Structure 1
Amino acid sequence: MRSIPCVVDGFKPSQRKVLFSAFKKKLKSDLKVAQLVGYISEQAAYHHGEMSLENTIVNLAQNFVGSNNINLLVPSGQFGTRLQGGKDHAAARYIYTRLSVATRLIFHPDDDHVLEYLDEEGQRIEPKWYCPILPMVLLNGAEGIGVGWSTAIPNHNPREIIRNIRKLLRGQPMAPMLPWYRGFKGSIAPSESDADRLDVLGTAERGADGALEITELPVKVWTQGYKEFLESLMPEEGKRRGEQSSHILEDFTEHHTENTVRFVLRVAPEAAQKVDRQGVEKTFKLKSSIATSNMMLFNHEGRMTRYNTALEILEDFCILRREMYVKRKSYLVGKLTKEKEILSNKARFILMVVRGELELRGRKKADLLVELKQLGFKSMRELNALASSSLQDEAASVEAGDAGAEASGAPSEKSDFDYLLGMALWSLTFEKVEEIKRQLEAKSAELDELLATSVEQMWDRDLDALSATLDQLDAEEAEEAASVAALA
C-alpha cells in the first residue's frame, strides 16, 4: 500500500501527506525541509522514519533530467542532480522548499471541498486521494515495490496529456503517447523485438578530430555511474598501453554541468574496428529500454489494477475527474447561492432598519428572532441547506448544535440570524446598502456564469491556465540556461 501509487493522484501515502501539509500551511515562502518534516508528522499523523519523509520531500522537488517533468515543490538548495541521480542532495537542515506555482493549478483549491478526508484518532488528515486536473502518475511516472506487487510507469509529456484530455472531452479518439522526460535530448521509440518495451537511446557524435562526443545518456543512467563504466574501458593501472590489448578507450575528458552531459572519448586505434562492428550504442551502452508491461496502480476504490497502456490510465482517470468536476460545480453553485442570499438578506435588513420598518432597540432577542422569521429572512440553517457540499453540511450541523445549546440554557449567545444581528452599527447606512447591492449584482452575475458553464468548459479553463504557466516556466528555464551558457 505504501509503495504503489493511486491512479487518481499518482501519489503514495507519504507523498499525499506532504502535499496535504503544504496546502494546509499555505507554503508559499521557503521553509527548511527539516522543519517541514516536523510539521507533516504533526498535521498528517506520519508514523514512520524522518529520513524516509525527508527523501519523499526531496523527490517531489527534484527537477533534473530523469526525475519529475513537473516538480510540485521548488528546490531551494542542493536537491540532487543527474550526476548521481539525486543521491547527491544536501541534508534536510540545509535545504528549503515551497509550493511550485503550477501545483495549485494542477490541484485546484475548489476541489479541496469535495474530497473524502481520512480520520486518524479524531484528527482530520489527508484525503483518500487528491484529484488533479491531469493524471500525475503519467506526468511524473512511478516506481515502487510492495508486498506481492511492483509497478513501473514512465514519465509522459504534459502537453500531450492535455491534448488527449481535450480530444476525449470532444469525443475524438486519443493519440498514442510515448514516454517523455523534460530536458532529455536522446530518443525514445517502440522496440522492434518486444511490443511491451521501448528503446531509449543516448546521443553520440564524431568530431572533426575523430573523437567521439557523448552529449546524452539513456534515461536514469547517471553521469557518475557512466564515468565509472568508461573507466573500466581504459587500460588497467600499472600496465603499459601496449601490453593491454582489450582496452577500448585511450582517454576521455568530461565537460558536464549539473543539467547536461558531455564526454569526449578517444578510442584506442586497435579497438576502432571492434567499435565499428558492434556499433557505438552497444559498445558504450548508450541504449537501454523501458518496460510498459508492469503498470500496476490502485484505482479510486483502492483495488489493485493492471493497465496495459498509458491511454487506459488516462481514460480511467478522466471518467473519475469528470465526476469530480460535477461535484465541484455543485459545491460552487451552493456556495454562491448561499452568499447571494446572505447579501440579499443583509441589504433588505439594513433598509428596513434605516427606514424604521424594523425596530431593534430595547427588544428581547427571542421576539426579534420570531419577527425576522415572519418577515421572510432566511436563517443560517436554511442558507446552509442551499449548499450541497460536505463542508456546508458540517457547518449546518455546527449551527444546529449551537441552536440546541442555546435552547438548553447553555451560555452560547449564537443564533441563526447572527449574520444580520451581528453586523457593526456603521453598517446601518444607505452607503452600506448600495455597496451590498453592488456585491449582490456581482455575485448574481458570477452565479449565472457558473450555471451556464459546463463541466467540460471548467476543465478546459483549468487546462488553459496550466498550459500558460508551463509556457512561462519553460521560458524562464530557457532564459536561465542562456545566461549560464553566456557565462561559460
Structure 2
Amino acid sequence: MASLIPDMEQNILDAPFDAALGERYLVYALSTITARSLPDLRDGLKPVHRRLLWAMRLLRLNPDQAYKKCARVVGDVIGKYHPHGDASVYDAMVRLAQDFALRVPLVDGQGNFGNIDGDNAAAMRYTEARLTDAAIRLMDGLDEESVPFRTTYNGEEEEPEVFPGLFPNLLVNGAAGIAVGMATSIPPHNPVEIVDAALHLLHQPDADTAALLQFVGGPDFPTGGVLVEPPESIAEAYATGRGSFRLRARWAVEDQGRGTWTIIISEVPYQVLKGKLIEQLASLITEKKLPILADVADESDEAVRIVITPKSRNVDADVLMESLFKLTDLEVRVPLNMNVLDEGRPGVLGLKPVIAKWLVHQREVLLARSRYRLGRIDARLEVLGGLLKAYLNLDEVIRIIREADDAKAELKAAFDLTDVQAEAILNMRLRSLRKLEEIEITLENKALTEEARGLRTLIADPAKQTERLAADLTALRTAYGPTTALGRRRTSLAAAPQVKLVPIEAMIEKEPITIICSAKGWIRAMKGHADLAGTDALKFKEGDGPAFAFHAQTTDRIVVAASDGRFYTLMPDRLPGGRGFGEPLRLMIDLAKGVEIVSIFTHQPERRLLLAASDGRGFQVDSAELLAETRKGKAVMNPRDGSRLAVVRWIAAGDDMVAVIGENRKLLVFPLEELPQLQKGQGVALQKYKDGGMSDVRTFVMADGLSWPMGGGSGRTRTEADLTFWKGARASAGRMPPTGFPRDNKFSL
C-alpha cells in the first residue's frame, strides 16, 4: 500500500481552490448551454431531440412504415448517441408526439402519450411511434453530405451535427429550456406565416421586422386561445427577441333558454393543465372569492368543454370572464426569450435575424447538396462515356475481352478509357449489349449532362439559388397551406375588451353579521347583529373563551392586528358560520409562531388610528395603510426588540389630546398634533419610563375632559375636567393619575 503513495502524489495538482472550481464549473456551464438546454438556430432542436429523430430514421420508422415500440427507440438512443437516463429521453420523445405541446408534431405516437389534463404518458413498453412528414422534411438531405457529421460519445457511430431539411422548426414548434445563467422560451408559430415571412425576406433582404410582422401576426399555439397583446408590444418583442404575450382562453355564451345562460370554454391557454384549471375555478366557489360564480363543470371529451354557470341571469358575462381572467390561469403571459445557439454561441436574436440566419443555412445546404449531386452525376457520366465507346466498337471490345490476357489494360489503351470506364465495360452483362440498352444510355447521358449544366449554373449564381429556395419554400407552403389541418391558424388575434371590473365587495350581498374571535384565535361569523353581551355564553373549545366580538356587514373588510406589527385583511363572507367553534385564524393568514392577536375590527375608510407599542412608542396611521392584499399581511409598525404592538385605537373626529399611562402608574396628557402621522415605522416616544413600559393610550377631546369607567359593574363613568396637572410635552414622565383611576391602568373606553 505504501508503494502506491508516490504514484498518487504525482497526480496531485497544487492550484487555488477558487480557480480550479471556476474552471470546472465553466466547463459544466458550457456543456449545459451548448449540449443540453438551448436549441440550434438552424433546425430548432436540442441534441436529445436530434438524436431521437436520427435513431428513428435509422430504424426506418417512416410515415408509411409500421410503428415500433418506443422502448426500442429509447434503447437505441441511450445506447448509441445519448448516454443519459431513459426516463428523460422518453419524456423528450413524448413531447415530440404531443399535438397540444408542438404546433407540428415530429413523432407520430400510437397509444397513451398524455393529455391536456396533465396525465402522464404510458410506459415506453406500451407505446409505439414513427416519424411524421415534418420530421422527414427536417432530415431531408442527410444522405447527400449536406451537413457535417461527428462521432458519437463512444466513437462507434456517427451522428449529424444539425439537420438540413427545409422546415422552420425553431419558430414553428418553439423551444423552452433552462441552462446555467440563461434560459430560452420561444412560443410556437404558424408554419404558413413563417414561410411567407421567409419568402419575403428572401426576395427583400433589407426588409425590417415591421415588414415581416405583416406576415407573422404573433404566436400560434397548438391549443388555440386568443392573443390580446397590443400590436406595439408584439412588435417590440419581435424586434428585441424579448417580451411576453397575453393569452386568453376562448369562450362563448351558450343560451339555456328562459333568460338563463352559461359560458363555454372551448380552448385553454398554452401549457395550462386543464385539471389544475378546474381546481382553480372550483376553489373560487368554495372559498367564496367570486360571488357571481355559481358552478363549474368539466364536460370535455376529445374537445375541451368547460361549463361555467353564473350566480344569476343578471350577471354580465364580460364582467364574469374578466374576473376569471384576473383570478385564474384562463389568462396567462407566455414569455418570449429567443436565446438560441448561433454557430455554437448562445445569443438573443430578434425575428428578422432568426429567419435571415436560417435562410443562410438553407442556402449552404442547397449548395452542399448541389455539389454532392454534381459529383454523383460526373461519376455516372464518366461511366456512361465509356459504355457509349464500347457500343460504338462492340465487336472489337468483345474480341479484346475474349483474347487479351490483360483485357482491362488493352481496353484502356485501345479506346482511351479511364480505369473506372474500363472496369464498367468489363462488368457489363451480356443482356446489356442489346440495341435498346444503347438508346437508354444515350438518353441518360443527355439528361445527366443537362442536369449537370444546371447544377453548375446554380452553384455559381446566387440569383438562381434564391429562385430555387423560393420554389422549395412555395412547395412547403402548399403542403402546410392555410386550409390544411396543420396550417390553419388556431390562435386568434384580438384586442382585450375594455370592461370595468366591479370590486369583489360590490358583488357580495350585504347582510348583517356578528364576528366572534376567541382568545386562542378561533373565528366565526353569526348571521345578524346578535347581542354582544351574550357572546360570552357561546360555546368555545375547552380552555378557550371570548376575546373579540363586534358587528359588521358581509361587504365590510375585517382588519386583524398582530403583536409583531403586521396587519391582515379578511373578507367577512368567507368566514365560517356561527355553528361550531369556527376555524383558526392561522389557516387564513400567515401568522408567525408566537405572535398574538392584538385587535380585530371593521375597516373604516378615511379614518385614522393610534398605534402604540409596549415600550411607549407610537404614531398615527391612515386606515387605508392597514389593508393587505395577501395572506402574509402588511408590516405597518416595526416594534423594537423586546417590545410588541400593544394598542390599536380609533381616533375620533374632533380628538385633540392624547392620554397615556405607564406601568409605573403615571399619567401624561399632550396635544395630538405632537404625534406624527406615518405610513409605517417604529413611531416616536409617547412617554418616558425609567422602568417598565406603557399600559394604555387613547385620544380624547380636551374640552370634554378625560373619562374612565368606575368599578363595580355599575356602568357609570367618571370624568376629570381639569387636566392641567397632567398636561405636558410628549415623551415627558407624567404624574400619578387622579383619585379613582382604575387599578388595572386601562382607560377601557
* TM-score, normalised by the number of residues in structure 1: 0.78
Q: Deviations over 1:276-314 (max 9, x none)?
A: 38644224442211222x3211112x111222x222211
Residue from 48, 62, 65 that aligns with 2:84:
48
Q: Distance in 1 between matches of 2:452 and 2:233?
A: 57
Residue from 222, 225, 250 that aligns with 1:203:
250
Please tell me the residue identity of whatever aligns with 2:201: L
Alignment of 1:297 with 2:340, yes or no, is: yes
Moved more, 458-467 or 105-114: 105-114
Moved more, 244-253 or 143-152: 244-253
Structure 1 residues 465 and 273: alpha-carbon distance in aligned structure 2, compared to 1, 3 A threshold: closer
Q: Distance in 1 between matches of 2:92 and 2:279?
A: 28
Residue from 132, 137, 157 that aligns with 1:105:
137
Q: Distance in 1 between matches of 2:422 and 2:155?
A: 30
Shift in Å, 1:429: 3.1
Alignment of 1:342 with 2:383, yes or no, is: yes
Secondary structure of 2:360's counterpart equals helix
Alignment of 1:432 with 2:454, yes or no, is: no
Shift in Å, 1:191: 7.6
2:476 aligned partner: 466
1:96 aligned partner: 128
Residue from 96, 105, 109 that aligns with 1:60:
96
CA contact (8 A) 1:3 1:145 kept: yes
Secondary structure of 1:298's counterpart equals strand
Alignment of 1:118 with 2:150, yes or no, is: yes
Moved more, 456-465 or 138-147: 456-465
Shift in Å, 1:175: 1.2
Q: Distance in 2 between matches of 1:273 and 1:342?
A: 81
Shift in Å, 1:235: 2.6
Shift in Å, 1:47: 0.9
Q: Distance in 1 between matches of 2:187 and 2:289?
A: 40
Secondary structure of 1:360's counterpart equals helix
Residue from 168, 171, 177 that aligns with 1:135:
168
Q: Distance in 2 between matches of 1:263 and 1:200?
A: 17
CA contact (8 A) 1:61 1:74 kept: yes
Q: Distance in 2 between matches of 1:24 and 1:235?
A: 55
Larger Rg: 2
Shift in Å, 1:250: 2.4
CA contact (8 A) 1:351 1:433 kept: no
Please tell me the residue identity of whatever aligns with 1:323: E
Moved more, 349-358 or 49-58: 349-358
1:22 aligned partner: 56
Structure 1 residues 114 and 376: alpha-carbon distance in aligned structure 2, compared to 1, 3 A threshold: farther
Q: Distance in 1 between matches of 2:130 and 2:483?
A: 16
Secondary structure of 1:180's counterpart equals coil
CA contact (8 A) 1:4 1:297 kept: yes
Please tell me the residue identity of whatever aligns with 2:452: L
Shift in Å, 1:20: 1.4
Structure 1 residues 245 and 323: alpha-carbon distance in aligned structure 2, compared to 1, 3 A threshold: closer
Q: Distance in 1 between matches of 2:290 and 2:397?
A: 104
1:377 aligned partner: 417
Q: Of Structure 1 and Structure 2, which has the larger fraction of its residues in helix?
A: 1
Q: Distance in 2 between matches of 1:14 and 1:432?
A: 49
Alignment of 1:218 with 2:257, yes or no, is: no
CA contact (8 A) 1:7 1:135 kept: no
CA contact (8 A) 2:408 2:423 kept: no
Q: Deviations over 1:121-172 (max 9, x none)?
A: 4433211111332431111000111222211111111111111111122126
1:281 aligned partner: 325
Residue from 100, 107, 114 that aligns with 1:80:
114
CA contact (8 A) 2:41 2:342 kept: yes
Shift in Å, 1:117: 0.3
Shift in Å, 1:216: 2.1
Structure 1 residues 91 and 160: alpha-carbon distance in aligned structure 2, compared to 1, 3 A threshold: same
Q: Distance in 2 between matches of 1:103 and 1:245?
A: 47
Please tell me the residue identity of whatever aligns with 1:128: E
Structure 1 residues 476 and 320: alpha-carbon distance in aligned structure 2, compared to 1, 3 A threshold: closer
Moved more, 223-232 or 446-455: 446-455
Q: Distance in 2 between matches of 1:124 and 1:251?
A: 59
2:184 aligned partner: 151
Q: Distance in 2 between matches of 1:97 and 1:76?
A: 6
Moved more, 54-63 or 185-194: 185-194
Structure 1 residues 62 and 420: alpha-carbon distance in aligned structure 2, compared to 1, 3 A threshold: farther
Please tell me the residue identity of whatever aligns with 1:468: T
* TM-score, normalised by the number of residues in structure 2: 0.52
Q: Of Structure 1 and Structure 2, which has the larger fraction of its residues in strand?
A: 2
CA contact (8 A) 1:106 1:466 kept: no
Structure 1 residues 188 and 136: alpha-carbon distance in aligned structure 2, compared to 1, 3 A threshold: farther
Alignment of 1:251 with 2:291, yes or no, is: no
Q: Distance in 2 between matches of 1:157 and 1:476?
A: 8
Q: Distance in 2 between matches of 1:323 and 1:252?
A: 55
Shift in Å, 1:97: 1.3
Shift in Å, 1:12: 0.9
1:292-371, aligned counterparts within 5 Å? 292=336, 294-300=337-343, 302-307=344-349, 309-354=350-395, 356=397, 359-365=400-406, 368-369=408-409, 371=411
Structure 1 residues 353 and 443: alpha-carbon distance in aligned structure 2, compared to 1, 3 A threshold: same
CA contact (8 A) 1:350 1:427 kept: no
Secondary structure of 2:393's counterpart equals helix
Unaligned segments of structure 2, at least 5 residues: 1-34, 237-242, 459-463, 489-749
Q: Distance in 2 between matches of 1:311 and 1:474?
A: 26
Q: Distance in 2 between matches of 1:345 and 1:275?
A: 81
Structure 1 residues 373 and 467: alpha-carbon distance in aligned structure 2, compared to 1, 3 A threshold: farther
Residue from 52, 59, 72 that aligns with 1:35:
72
Shift in Å, 1:33: 0.8
Secondary structure of 2:261's counterpart equals coil
Structure 1 residues 104 and 340: alpha-carbon distance in aligned structure 2, compared to 1, 3 A threshold: farther
Matched-pair identity in %: 25
CA contact (8 A) 1:211 1:266 kept: yes
Please tell me the residue identity of whatever aligns with 1:430: K
Shift in Å, 1:248: 5.3
Q: Distance in 2 between matches of 1:270 and 1:441?
A: 80
Q: Distance in 2 between matches of 1:73 and 1:450?
A: 34
2:584 aligned partner: none
Q: Distance in 1 between matches of 2:317 and 2:355?
A: 45
Pairs aligned (count): 426
Shift in Å, 1:440: 2.1
CA contact (8 A) 2:134 2:167 kept: no
Residue from 222, 226, 231 that aligns with 2:282:
231
CA contact (8 A) 1:117 1:124 kept: no
Shift in Å, 1:192: 7.3
CA contact (8 A) 2:48 2:89 kept: yes
Residue from 199, 202, 208 that aligns with 1:169:
202
Residue from 463, 466, 472 that aligns with 1:456:
466
CA contact (8 A) 2:168 2:191 kept: no
1:186 aligned partner: 226
Structure 1 residues 61 and 354: alpha-carbon distance in aligned structure 2, compared to 1, 3 A threshold: farther
Unaligned segments of structure 1, at least 5 residues: 237-243, 381-415, 479-488
